[in-house]
Amino acid sequence: MLTATRPAVSLVDRYTAAFPGSKRRFEVAKTLFPTGVTHDTRMMEPFPVYVTRAKGAYKWDVDGHKLVDYFVGHGALLLGHSPDDVVTAVQEQMARGTHYGACHDLEIAWGQLVQKLVPSAEKVRFTGSGTEATLMALRLCRLHTGQPKFLKFQGHFHGWHDYVTVGSDPPYESMAVPGVPESVAANCVSVAPGDLNRVEAALVGDPQIGAVILEPTGGHWGAIPIRGEFLRGLREICTRLDRVLIFDEVITGFRVAPGGAQAYYGVTPDLTSLAKILAGGLPGGCLAGRSDILAFIEPRPGKPKMKHPGTYNANPLSAAAGVAALTRVATGEPCRLANAAAVRLRNRLNELFETRGWPMVAYGDFSVVRIVTRYHGPRPRTDAGENDGLIPFGCDLNQLDGPKNPKQISAMRQAMLLNGVDLWGFAGMTSCEHTDAIIDDTVRAVASSVEVLQMEGQL
């Protein structure tokens, strides 16, 4: 454990001394990549860690540290790192060919698994990523409804293409997104989450809004949790007002339950975007949903056809990984284990915060854990389950998902890495490989890290 009794050496100095191999690599990376990293969320002060291998709930860095992982492949690794069944499937496929430029059996098996598990999946179309899946969803909606606009919720993330960037980061009211033409952004109507009346008023007031898209357990993977009542209300409004309802299940699909949030809550959207777990940790996505909407991909007399190529659509390696992963997901066991691990982590953290009298609370639904600071409200129930725990700060968007404090997040990451845990700042996701013992180690790491941050004046 990182000792909290050596204030003479600062946290950042201890971090720098412990991870010299990563520091060296970052110096090179900065000469290559803007910001030195290849994904915005991998940015970290003073430098990120470089990983050489990963297995189960762990990854190992270039300096030989064994780290419990809560990034889990940006949510893609419900089965943990390098699960044997997925590895074998990909290795076997590798030897048979990586890209046929042709149709193949695995894409059929993969599509059938999606159709079997996901209630809305009448038809399926594979894409290269989740971003491509939401891009496709919105273009198909424009063709189906004849309307140019869509409604999204502030704080909900749907990838990085031009149409969905509005309202995904604070300040949420701003329509200006650097690099996105105003004429494109104007097609997005973004509203605060959680208010069905506001949604209804927006849809009634603007007949040009043809579709509604959301992360069905709440924006930024459940930072502001959404539960069944809201989804049922939204479904009713969209049906009554004849708008297309899109669930973006890129995170929640196959994670919340084998059939995603829609199966768990019994609310079927018209379209569903999927990626991450879908492709078993390899690149890949898909759009699934109503046959009559996906039919715009087909050439039909008198109807416009949506063009959809994509070099890596249903790539055989991704298909092999996806079939192996979804075959296991279909048993229900991975979701059950990952959810149980997160429930344990949330509960143990809340016990810790309460015992120490720290103004902090852990919350989240399913296999997501989030920690908030400066919290003095009511304590969560200890018997809270997968999706009925307390939502702090009365679900306030700016308190739970407002402007971030990058210095504090980096300090937490440094302290947690020194304690052998790669936590996503103050949040993380579990996999089915996060055992009780790993969770208990993580709680000890949080205890030690919070003490260090307190001494550093970061908490």
Asked if 251 interacts with ligand PLP (CB under 6 A), we say yes
Q: Which residue, 187 or 273, is less far from ligand PLP as judged by CB?
A: 273
Question: If binding is defined by CB under 6 A, does position 314 make contact with ligand PLP?
Answer: no
Q: Which stretch binds ligand PLP (CB under 6 A): 152-160, 199-207, 239-247, 348-356?
A: 152-160
- 3-state class (DSSP) for residue 38: coil
Cα 40 from Cα 102, distance rounded (Å):
34
Contact of 210 with 142, CB cutoff 8 Å: yes
Binding mask 255-284 for ligand PLP (x = CB under 6 A): --------------------x---------
Choose between 189 and 251: whose C-beta lies nearer to ligand PLP.
Answer: 251
Using CB under 6 A, pick the residue from 121, 177, 250, 453 that binds ligand PLP.
250
Phi, psi for residue 173 in degrees, rounded to 5: -75, -20
Shortest CA distance to 196 belongs to which of 159, 228, 161? 228
Strands 368-372 and 51-55: unpaired
| Interaction residues for ligand PLP, span 199-228 (CB under 6 A) | 215
- Give whichever of 131 and 442 is closer to ligand PLP, judged by the CB atom: 131
Nearer to ligand PLP, 153 or 375 (CB): 153
Euclidean distance between CA atoms 442 and 401, whole angstroms: 23
Q: Among 107, 248, 365, 451, which residue sits at the site for ligand PLP (rule: CB under 6 A)?
A: 248
Name the token pair of 195: 């208010």
Considering only the C-alpha atoms of the chain, give the largest distance between any 2 of them, rounded to a whole number of Å: 76
Written as one letter, the residue type at 58 is: Y
- What does the DSSP assignment read for 134-193? HHHHHHHHHHHH---EEEEETT----SSGGG-TTSSSSTT----TTS-HHHHTTEEEE-T
Whose CB is nearest to ligand PLP? 130
Q: Is 285 in the site for ligand PLP (CB under 6 A)?
A: yes
Q: Does 74 bind ligand PLP (CB under 6 A)?
A: yes
Q: Does 152 bind ligand PLP (CB under 6 A)?
A: no
* Region near ligand PLP per CB under 6 A, out of 244-252, 331-339, 378-386, 397-405: 244-252
Give dist(CA 210, CA 91) in Å, integer.
Answer: 44
Contact range with ligand PLP by CB under 6 A, out of 104-112, 245-253, 297-305, 427-435: 245-253
Cis amide leading into 170 (omega within 30):
no
Residue 157 touches ligand PLP, criterion: CB under 6 A: yes
Q: Is 168 in the site for ligand PLP (CB under 6 A)?
A: no
Residues near ligand PLP (CB under 6 A) are: 74, 129-131, 134, 157-159, 215, 248, 250-251, 275, 285
